[in-house]
């Protein structure tokens, strides 16, 4: 399968044809059954899931993998597995939020990594490749991202990507008065030229 090792546009375009993106250190790819176990461990880790309403049961974790994998199979893009030297680190990629909000419809960029992968720049590096795909291949005019207000690590990724804070909103799928209901919305526009 094609794999590029840096960001130049031509190399990225070659990589896109195999539903796989590459960066200097990482591969973003379709899910396999071997990813189910490390993903379930991640979803059961309270620190990884600190800013989500709850941790994932094994069934929820498998259902997430099924959905993410089906989306990539159908569209060629989505929430890709991120691996480094064959090791599962987490996921990063693009998705279409299903809830109703005044800033939707749109395409969101998101990420979730196992703790051992934090603090190495992996999320930002993977997200840059996903953003390049969104702008160069899908030709999207804009990409959104959102998280709960207190998720400073995730907000820092958004800011490193050059995304700007647009507004705060209450996530409609999180119950009123839940501490994680207040969210921040970030956005980045397709570079001109």
Ligand X SMILES: CC(C)(COP(=O)(O)OP(=O)(O)OC[C@H]1O[C@@H](n2cnc3c(N)ncnc32)[C@H](O)[C@@H]1OP(=O)(O)O)[C@@H](O)C(=O)NCCC(=O)NCCS
* Residue labelled with tokens 């647009």: 166
Residue among 5, 120, 164, 165 that touches ligand X (CB under 6 A): 120
Residue window 21-50: x/- pattern of binding to ligand X, with contact defined by CB under 6 A: ---------------------------x--
Q: Whole-number minimum distance, CB 26 to ligand X, in Å?
A: 10
* Residue labelled with tokens 């994932």: 56
Q: Which is nearer to ligand X, 111 or 133 (CB)?
A: 111
Q: Which is nearer to ligand X, 4 or 184 (CB)?
A: 184
Token pair listed for 13: 């375009």
**Should residue 154 be labelled a site residue for ligand X when binding is judged by CB under 6 A?**
yes
**Should residue 51 be labelled a site residue for ligand X when binding is judged by CB under 6 A?**
yes
State the DSSP H helix or E strand holding residue 131, giving kind and residue range, or none if neither.
helix 122-132
Q: Whole-number minimum distance, CB 49 to ligand X, in Å?
A: 7
**DSSP E strands: which ranges in the chain?**
21-22, 27-29, 79-84, 87-95, 108-113, 142-148, 164-170, 182-189
What is the rounded distance in angstroms from the CA atom of residue 12 to the CA atom of residue 58?
A: 34
- Edge-first strand order for the sheet with 108-113 is 21-22, 27-29, 79-84, 87-95, 108-113, 142-148, 182-189, 164-170
**Should residue 122 be labelled a site residue for ligand X when binding is judged by CB under 6 A?**
yes
Q: Which is nearer to ligand X, 69 or 154 (CB)?
A: 154
**Should residue 65 be labelled a site residue for ligand X when binding is judged by CB under 6 A?**
no
Distances (CA, A) of 80 to 129, 168, 190: 11, 27, 21
Q: Whole-number minimum distance, CB 120 to ligand X, in Å?
A: 5
Q: Which is nearer to ligand X, 15 or 79 (CB)?
A: 79
Q: Which is nearer to ligand X, 1 or 164 (CB)?
A: 164
């Amino acid at each position: 399968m094609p794999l590029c090792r840096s960001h130049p546009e031509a190399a990225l375009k070659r990589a896109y044809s195999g539903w796989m993106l590459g960066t200097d250190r990482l591969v973003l790819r379709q899910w396999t059954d071997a990813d189910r176990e490390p993903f379930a461990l991640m979803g059961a880790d309270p620190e990884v899931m600190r800013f989500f309403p709850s941790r994932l049961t094994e069934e929820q974790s498998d259902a997430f993998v099924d959905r993410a994998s089906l989306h990539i199979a159908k569209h060629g893009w989505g929430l890709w597995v991120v691996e480094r030297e064959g090791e599962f680190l987490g996921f990063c990629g693009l998705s279409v939020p299903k809830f109703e909000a005044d800033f939707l419809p749109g395409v969101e960029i998101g990420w979730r990594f196992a703790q051992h992968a934090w603090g190495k720049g992996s999320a930002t590096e993977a997200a840059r490749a996903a953003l390049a795909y969104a702008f160069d291949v899908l030709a999207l005019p804009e990409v959104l991202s959102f998280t709960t207000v207190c998720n400073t690590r995730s907000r820092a990724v958004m800011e490193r990507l050059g995304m700007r804070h647009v507004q705060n909103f209450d996530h409609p799928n999180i119950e009123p008065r839940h501490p994680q209901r207040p969210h921040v919305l970030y956005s980045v526009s397709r570079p001109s030229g």
